[in-house]
Every structure is written in structure tokens, then in C-alpha cells.
Amino acid sequence: MEEQGQITHPSGELDPDVQRELLARARSAAQRAYVPYSNFPVGAAGLASDGSIYDGSNIENASFSLTICAERSAIVAAVFAGAREIVAIAVSAPKMPLTSPCGACRQVLNEFRPANQDMMVILDDESAGEPVRLESLLPRAFGPRNLE
């Protein structure tokens, strides 16, 4: 739960105010990206099951394989703070609306998807955002529950 109200409605959809906050935070995070090589900033804001929000941006490296995406940056911040379930994440790439997480990020997001619900991924469309379920981005995902 978030202090100001419900995170999700009974239908499983995100509260519109929460979705707006996530998008605003993701847009702000994109402005803090370190992207000297691609010049393609991306920001993300992840919503933990307790209502906390964790921001991240892509951080590039001259050794390109060591670059970290915004989504993974936000997840790392959340996990470091003690969160283990992320119910939603917003992704904003100012140069390309509706940018979706890469395959590696989808797999990392799946690791922290709540056991009892799907994760909502909000793609920035320069308006209210387009919510997409992680299941539709990563069907038949392999995750921690497969190892039980």
C-alpha cells in the first residue's frame, strides 16, 4: 500500500496517480543518465510492493558490455534497499516513445515479479503511459519459482 491510497485496483490495474508518479520519476531519471556513447538516455522508476519507488538510469561504459540499463539500475537500487517484490516499473526514453525493456532487463524484472500477480511495465508514450504486463513481454519466463 502507498500512504496516499491503493497501489492497484481490484482489477489489478495501477492507480492512475501512481502511474503518473512512476512516469514522472522515470522521466526525471532519464535526465540523469550517463550516455556519452549512444546519446540515448533512459530512465526507470520501480514500485515495490510496500509502495516505495526506486529510480535508475542507464549508465554506459567504454567497455560496452559493462553498460547497465535503467531498469536494472532501478531494480538494483530497490533490492539494495531491501525490496524483494516490484509490482510495477515505468520506462522512459525521451528520444523514442514506447521504448520497451531489453531481453536482459525483462529477465531481471521477472526475478522480482510478485508471486501472486504480474508486474506492470509502463511504457512512456509522452502522455499517460501505456501499461503492459511483463508476462506479455516475457512469455513462459523462467524464474525463481521454477527452481522450487
**Which one of the listed residues 3, 71, 85, 135 is annotated catalytic?**
71
Output the DSSP codes for 24-48.
HHHHHHHTT-B-TTT----EEEEEE
Are the C-beta atoms of 43 and 15 separated by less than 8 Å?
Answer: no
Q: Cell 500512504, residue? A: 3
Q: Is 21 a catalytic residue?
A: no
Cα separation, 81 vs 105, in Å, equals 19
Catalytic residue set: 71
